[in-house]
Amino acid sequence: MKIISLSIIGLVLSGTLFAEDAMTLMKDNGCFSCHAIASKKAAPAFAGIGKRNKRFEGENARYVIINSIKNGSKGKYPHFSDMEMPSYTNFSQEELETIADFILAQSSKAKGHGGNCGGGKGQGRGMGMMGGMR
Ligand code: HEC
């Protein structure tokens, strides 16, 4: 298992090693039936989620993301108000951290417009507009 080394690598945000494990976890759990990395589907893009939480939650971003995966989430992303983030209680803390770090790392893929689209209040914006930007 690579899980142990992941929390260390996660800090580096190199984006490759832990990404593979996060991708596997998320694929195995069906996250991509609603989410995509950089474009919106039935749910906000992970790039937009990472960016939004970094901007609005700062140091708590990782915690907020972990909490939303564990407990579900509804109503945070106005564009998706008719959908709901289900709660996933099957992940270990390490797995949650791996996924959260991966999602936060995706925020760089959402930097299509100088890293700031909407200046604070427009948190619904920027999701799904970054398809293809790297
Ligand atoms: C049934 C569709 C669906 C599935 C499956 C799903 N999500 Fe979501 N997810 C959503 C929706 C809808 C939202 C937006 C919720 C909101 O507006 O508060 C969301 C939001 C999120 C957020 C943002 C929460 C926040 O606080 O900013 C994260 C992180 C997330 N999902 C991760 C995951 C992960 C990881 C998985 C797989 C384990 C997953 N989702 C599976 C629909 C889904």
Q: What is the pLDDT of residues 85-131, one digit of tens each?
A: 999 999 999 999 999 999 999 998 985 544 344 333 334 444 444 44
Ligand 1 probe mutation, 29, 73, 123, most atoms within 8 A of CB: 73
Report the half-sphere exposure of 70 (CA within 13 A, side-chain side): 14
Q: What is the pLDDT of residues 21-80, one digit of tens each?
A: 999 999 999 999 999 999 999 999 999 999 999 999 999 999 999 999 999 999 999 999
* CA 73 to ligand 1: nearest atom: 18
Instruction: For residue 39, give every residue at least 6 positions away whose Cβ sits within 8 Å of its Cβ, in sequence order, or none.
Output: 45, 128, 130, 131
Domains and CATH numbers, the chain: 38-110 (1.10.760.10)
Distance between Cα 34 and ligand 1 center (Å): 8
Fill in the DSSP letter of residue 60.
Answer: G
pTM above 0.85, yes or no: no
Residue whose CA is at the smallest distance from ligand 1 atom 40: 31
Residue whose CA is at the smallest distance from ligand 1 atom 6: 31
